[in-house]
Amino acid sequence: MRRRALIFVSAIGAAMLSSSAQAEVTDLEVKAAFLPRFARYVTWPAAAWRGDQPVSLCVIGDDPFGNLLNQSIAGQQVDGRNFVVKRLSSAAGASDCAIAFVDGSRTDEILQSLAHQPVLTVTDSRFGSERGIIHFVIVGGRVRFSINNRQAREDGLTISSRLLALAVGVSG
């Protein structure tokens, strides 16, 4: 037992020497980084894409990200398209959103109006219990998410196995 403890303590010592204190990021920064990247692992029905317009990343309701989302889409592309961030107060005008992060007191209502439309809805457990197709959770100090794959299929979206594998829970 004592010997094991010694090995353990020396492992900690080595780790302290080899790594200097690094700046941690906040959960919102990581979530903002995830949002445009989801587009690479989701297939929208062909009709949802119009010409070569940029991919709309919408924030509907309250916007917890501020400038973070605009920073995270910089330089990101999917199928040669750039992203554009749109901020909406309701589901009206959300039909051309590819991805919609929904937050605020009307989340439930907004999610219902987006059902059966090809919009990847995203919610955050930090702000409420309502769940979009992707629902962010913090697990073990990391940003993870659950995926409601049945809802995705109903909305005409196909989620790749690589994204499903990363989810902490897949339903449907």
Partner 1 sequence: MRIYLFLAPVLLGASFGSPALAQQLAEQDLSSLSIEQLAQLPVTSASKTEEPLSQAPAALYVVTAHDIENSGATSLPEALRLAPNLNVQQVTASQYAIAARGFNGIQAGNKLLVLIDGRSIYTPLADNVTWELHQPLLEDIEQIEVISGPGGTLYGPNAVNGVVNITTKSAEDTIGGLLRGTAGADERTAAARYGFAIGSAGAMRIYADYDDREGLPRGIGAAIDDHSRSWQGGFRSDFGGADDRFTMQGDLFRSTDKMFAGDHTSAHNLLARWTHDLGRSASFQIQSYYDWYKSEVTLVDQSLETWDNEAQLNVTTGPHQIVAGAGVRTTKDRFVNGLNAFELNPESRRLWVYNAFAQDRFNLTTDLALIAGVKLEKSSFVGWQVLPNLRLAYQPNARALFWAAVSKAVRTPSRIDRQLELLPLVPPSTDFMSEKLVAFEAGYRGQPASWLSLSVNVFYNFYNDLRTTESLTDQVFPIELLNGRKGTTYGIEAWGKAQVTPWWRLSLGATTLHKSFHLVDDRTDLEPRNSLGADPHWQVVGSSDMDLSRKLKLTLDVRAVSPLDLPPSVPGYVEAGGRIAYDLNDEVELFVAARNLLHETHEENGDPNSAQLAKRSVYAGTRLRF
- Spatial neighbors of 60 by CB under 8 A, at least 6 apart, are 87, 88, 89, 90, 91, 94, 97, 100, 101, 102, 103, 104, 110
Contacting residue, 87, 126, 158, 164, with partner 1 by CB under 8 A: 126
Q: Which is nearer to partner 1, 47 or 74 (CB)?
A: 74
Query: For residue 161, what are the CA distances in angstroms to 35, 99, 170?
Result: 17, 18, 11
Q: Which is nearer to partner 1, 96 or 137 (CB)?
A: 137
Bridge partners (DSSP) listed for residue 167? none
* CB-CB contact of 103 with 63 (8 Å): yes
Q: Does 87 bind partner 1 (CB under 8 A)?
A: no
121 alpha-carbon distance from chain centroid: 9
Q: Does 121 bind partner 1 (CB under 8 A)?
A: no
Q: Does 80 bind partner 1 (CB under 8 A)?
A: no
- Which 51-70 residues touch partner 1, going by CB under 8 A? 68
Contacting residue, 3, 12, 79, 161, with partner 1 by CB under 8 A: 12
Q: Does 3 bind partner 1 (CB under 8 A)?
A: no
29 alpha-carbon distance from chain centroid: 11
Site size toward partner 1 (CB under 8 A) is 61
Please, what sign has the CA dihedral across residues 106, 109, 113, 115?
positive
- Applying CB under 8 A, which residues contact partner 1? 5, 8-9, 11-12, 15-16, 19-30, 33-34, 37, 41, 68, 71-72, 74-76, 105-109, 111, 125-126, 129-131, 135, 137-144, 146, 148, 150-151, 162-163, 166, 168-172
